[in-house]
Structure 1
Amino acid sequence: MRAAVLTEYGEPLEIQEVDYPEPTPEQVVVETEACGVCRSDWHAWQGDWGWVGAQAPTGQVLGHEPAGVVAEVGAEVENFREGDRVAVPFHLADGTCHQCRTGHANVCETVLPLGFTGVAPGAFAEAFPVRKADVNLARLPDDVDFVDMAGLGCRFMTAFHGLAHRADLAPGDWVAVHGCGGVGLSAVHIADALGANVVAVDIREDKLEAARELGAAETLNAADSDRVAGDVKALAGGGCDVSIDALGIPETCQNAIGSLGRRGQHVQIGLTTGNEQGQLSIPSDAMVMQEVDFLASFGMPPTDYGEIFRMVAAGKLEPGRIVSEELSLDEVPETLQKMDSYDTVGIPVVSEF
């Protein structure tokens, strides 16, 4: 089968013929119908995250935002059958550790990140295996489109978890979203659906226009401001209740925290590059004096996906609105290269393998 393989950091992925996966007893094989191209794939392609033990090895099949159809089922799998339509989270859990048993499978103690480790080949391929299928698969409703759900496995659910579960967000609150890439635009749409008022911040007008279309009440082009945090506060009438750094660089993190009012909550979603290597400075004294909370969001347990599906069914969430383009597998290398200069808008999705 065809797959996009990381052969050398920073060099274009190669489209290669690789072996079709065989499921172990606790696995299923999913045939890929759609897979988002995420900035985390860009990080893997760059060789990032060795500082947290998560550097993708060369030879890795990337891709971690898939939706597809179960094609083969291991002998020990109880809850899924061939033909089931499924979404798969990027954080493959074991189902047995304390975090899994207490409803936090997204931070499983033995997590295997899909598409970032050799034992969990990714979904830039015609098919891929899923560890502990009974724990890690979410059945898709029959009336949702695979392409619309492609961002569910990473960006969309991470933004949803951050706003709906990690932050104490209430209708009417102000939310500042710094960085309007795929996860940032997902956060804009979700915050609006949850009844919040959103200030979207970016340096690209096309991304700010997308944010306005997805419900942002206010937008700010950071390239035109020499006091981003102060301008966001003014737009929100004195300070935001929740802020999100959806990029993971010092400037966006600090501006996001600075956008908050007293007792605000910051949610860190963006992960860092090789420049920062996991270290971002924060205004800790001001945070202490204003009792600002620093939170984080890493995916979402598949057991909570029903919340998203119910909002989709009610017409309150439309993940497909964030999908910017459909690609073939052959276009993935070029799409990752465009992310060097943040040239993608929304969520590009591979739908042709």
Structure 2
Amino acid sequence: MRALIFEAFGGPLSVRDLPAPDPATDGVVVEVAASGICRSDWHGWQGHDPDVVLPHVPGHELAGTVAAVGHGVRRWRVGDRVTVPFVNACGRCAQCAAGEHQVCPNQTQPGFTHWGSLAQFVALDAADVNLVALPDELSMSTAATLGCRYATAFRAVVQVAGVRPGEWVAVHGCGGVGLSAVQIAVAAGARVVAVDVAAGALELARRFGAAATVHGDDDVPAAVADLTGGGAHVSLDTLGAALTCTNSVRSLRPRGRHVQVGLLPPAQGRPEVPMERVIALELALLGSHGMAAHAYPELLGLVADGRLRPQELVTREIGLDDAGAALAGMGAEPGITVVTAFG
């Protein structure tokens, strides 16, 4: 198979012919039709994820068709159109029994624990637990966004934060996850303040319904407090940086909810969380880590009826030969870049 590979952290990204994977007993191999390029892939390339072993093929945000099936798989057949959450749960532990697959302690993640989807084929574990069937009318490039960024934002906004109509929501970082959160929060009836340092990202946020925007170099907590009449009810750090995390907590009104979505690798510095403010204002600090496969029907239903439009976030489709440059330049282009040509 053709695949994007790197042999040193932060080193060259090249497309090479590599052995295609075989399915595990409980797994499948998917022929990849679309794979998003996500900031998490950039973190893996930079060496911020301890699961990544060199040499490595990145990619975890995918859609495609089942190409091979392990003999222990019952629900899936060759030719099925599927996507998968980036967290592949084991299906056997206490967390999985409770339906909390996204925090499975035995999880695997394509593109992190093993070779990923910036390739013609990718192996996926525990297929009966993790695969999500795709409706025929949903394009593969749109479906790829549901593997990580859009589904992650959906769970963070709807299920973890519990955003309600009329609330103010601040979104810190308008990359793929952040723009998804803007669109989803607006659909939930919230008023959104979008924060970023890039004019193009803020323009997209306004297009997706943000009521106001703030430049990330400004005094963000003060600006959010002024725009919202005292602070946001919900504030999400969708970028994952010490500054955006701290700004998010400081942007909240009393009894507000902070949701940490963006990764915070310790190697990049730990945020200074103002715990005295957390106590005095009774703030809630919440984490959100993907979404279990069994929770996808609600999201897919909202996409099908047009209330959510993840396709609008796909701003660029490229070939695998251009994926290395896109990964290295992560954040330079607003919206979501998806690889849709692998030959």
TM-score range, shorter chain: over 0.9
Instruction: Work out which of the residue numbers 233, 236, 250 in structure 1 matches 2:228.
Output: 236
Give the structure 1 partner of residue 149 of structure 2. Answer: 155
Letter in 1 for 2:42: W
Offset of 1:262 from its aligned partner?
0.4
Give the structure 2 partner of residue 37 of structure 1. Answer: 37
CA distance in 1, matches of 2:14, 2:8: 9
CA distance in 2, matches of 1:63, 1:259: 33
Taking the TM superposition and a 5 Å limit, the aligned residue runs for 1:127-138 are: 127-138=121-132
Give the structure 1 partner of residue 111 of structure 2. Answer: 115
| Contact persistence 1:176–1:200 (CA under 8 A) | yes
Give the structure 2 partner of residue 253 of structure 1. Answer: 245
Give the structure 2 partner of residue 308 of structure 1. Answer: 299
Question: Is it true that 1:350 corresponds to 2:342 in the alignment?
Answer: no
| Contact persistence 2:48–2:267 (CA under 8 A) | no
| Superposition CA RMSD, Å | 1.1
Instruction: Work out which of the residue numbers 97, 102, 119 in structure 1 matches 2:98.
Output: 102
| Contact persistence 1:49–1:274 (CA under 8 A) | no
Give the structure 2 partner of residue 197 of structure 1. Answer: 191
Offset of 1:248 from its aligned partner?
1.5
CA distance in 1, matches of 2:30, 2:339: 15
Instruction: Work out which of the residue numbers 153, 161, 167 in structure 2 matches 1:167.
Output: 161
Give the structure 2 partner of residue 178 of structure 1. Answer: 172
Offset of 1:113 from its aligned partner?
1.6
Offset of 1:75 from its aligned partner?
1.2
Offset of 1:274 from its aligned partner?
5.8
Letter in 2 for 1:221: H
Instruction: Work out which of the residue numbers 66, 80, 87 in structure 1 matches 2:83.
Output: 87
CA distance in 2, matches of 1:260, 1:84: 45
Offset of 1:150 from its aligned partner?
1.2
CA distance in 2, matches of 1:131, 1:274: 28
| Contact persistence 1:12–1:334 (CA under 8 A) | no
Offset of 1:313 from its aligned partner?
1.2
Unaligned runs of 5+ in 1: none
| Contact persistence 1:37–1:65 (CA under 8 A) | yes
Question: Is it true that 1:65 corresponds to 2:61 in the alignment?
Answer: yes
Unaligned runs of 5+ in 2: none
Question: Is it true that 1:222 corresponds to 2:213 in the alignment?
Answer: no
Taking the TM superposition and a 5 Å limit, the aligned residue runs for 1:264-279 are: 264-273=256-265, 275-276=267-268, 279=270
Offset of 1:272 from its aligned partner?
2.2
SS class of match (2:205): helix
SS class of match (1:164): helix
CA distance in 2, matches of 1:28, 1:337: 29
CA distance in 2, matches of 1:274, 1:330: 32
Offset of 1:18 from its aligned partner?
1.0
| Contact persistence 1:244–1:256 (CA under 8 A) | yes
Question: Is it true that 1:293 corresponds to 2:284 in the alignment?
Answer: yes
Give the structure 1 partner of residue 11 of structure 2. Answer: 11
Letter in 2 for 1:126: Q
Aligned residues: 342
Letter in 2 for 1:113: Q
Offset of 1:21 from its aligned partner?
1.7
Give the structure 2 partner of residue 323 of structure 1. Answer: 314
Closer/same/farther in 2, CA of residues 146 and 130 from structure 1, 3 Å limit: same
Give the structure 2 partner of residue 142 of structure 1. Answer: 136
Offset of 1:20 from its aligned partner?
1.7
| Contact persistence 2:110–2:123 (CA under 8 A) | no
Offset of 1:332 from its aligned partner?
1.1
Offset of 1:275 from its aligned partner?
4.2
SS class of match (1:282): coil
Question: Is it true that 1:262 corresponds to 2:254 in the alignment?
Answer: yes
Matched-pair identity in %: 45
SS class of match (1:45): helix
| Contact persistence 1:63–1:123 (CA under 8 A) | yes
CA distance in 2, matches of 1:3, 1:112: 20
SS class of match (1:242): strand
Offset of 1:273 from its aligned partner?
4.2
CA distance in 2, matches of 1:276, 1:36: 24
Give the alignment's TM-score, normalised by structure 1. Answer: 0.95
Letter in 2 for 1:64: H
| Contact persistence 2:243–2:271 (CA under 8 A) | no
Letter in 2 for 1:258: R
Letter in 1 for 2:338: V
